Amino acid sequence: MKLIIKPDKGFGKIKVELEDELAGEIKGLSERYGVPAERVIEIALKGEFREPLGELEELEEKAEELEKRAWKLEKEYSPLRFKAYGLSEDNRILARELASLIAENSQLRRFLGLKPERNPELRRLISYYRK
C-alpha cells in the first residue's frame, strides 16, 4: 500500500510504501469501525487514541440485542401502520364523496329555491381528510 501525505498548504508531500501486513491491519480497522483508511492512518499518526469506557465486545452485544428488540417491535407494529394507512385512505375517499354530495345538495336546494345550508365545521373536517 502506498501512502502519500500532503500538507494543507504548500507543495511538499511525503510518499511512503507500507508493508502488506500493516496495510491489511489498516484495512481491517477501517472496515471494523466503519471509517476510511485515511482516517485510521491519521489517528495513528496524531496519536488520537481513545481508550474504550467499557468492554467493546459487551457493548457490541448490547447493541445487537437492542437491534433485535427494535426489529421485533417493528414486526409487531407494521401491520398496525398498514391498517392505519388503509383507514386514512378510506377516510380520504369518503371525504371526497361527502364533498360531492354536499355540493349536489346545495345545487338541489338552489334549484328548489330553499336557503342553502352552511356548515363550516363539516367543511373543515372534509378539508382535513382531503389533504
pLDDT at 80: 93
Residue whose C-alpha cell is 398496525: 80
pLDDT at 52: 65
Instruction: Note whether 38 and 60 are same-domain residues.
Output: no
- By the 8 A CB rule, do 99 and 126 touch? yes
Q: Is there a domain that residue 51 lies in?
A: no
pLDDT at 112: 92
Instruction: Note whether 97 and 118 are same-domain residues.
Output: yes
Q: What's the total number of domains in the chain?
A: 2
Instruction: Note whether 68 and 9 are same-domain residues.
Output: no
pLDDT at 125: 84
Instruction: Note whether 22 and 65 are same-domain residues.
Output: no
Q: Residue 68 above 90 pLDDT?
A: yes
Q: Is there a domain that residue 7 lies in?
A: yes
Instruction: Note whether 94 and 60 are same-domain residues.
Output: yes
Instruction: Note whether 29 and 70 are same-domain residues.
Output: no
pLDDT at 17: 79
Q: Residue 16 above 70 pLDDT?
A: yes
pLDDT tens by residue, 23-43: 888 888 888 888 888 888 777
pLDDT at 92: 92
Q: Residue 53 above 70 pLDDT?
A: no
- By the 8 A CB rule, do 14 and 4 touch? yes
Instruction: Note whether 40 and 81 are same-domain residues.
Output: no
- By the 8 A CB rule, do 110 and 116 touch? yes
Instruction: Note whether 83 and 125 are same-domain residues.
Output: yes
- Name the more confident of 40 and 54: 40
Instruction: Note whether 72 and 11 are same-domain residues.
Output: no
Average pLDDT over residues 85-106: 92
Domain that holds residue 76: 56-129
Q: Is there a domain that residue 121 lies in?
A: yes
Computed over every residue of the chain, the mean pLDDT equals 85
* Rounded distance between C-alpha atoms, residue 129 and residue 131, angstroms: 6
Instruction: Note whether 94 and 66 are same-domain residues.
Output: yes
Instruction: Note whether 8 and 29 are same-domain residues.
Output: yes
The DSSP secondary structure of 18-35, one letter per residue, reads PPHHHHHHHHHHHHHHT-
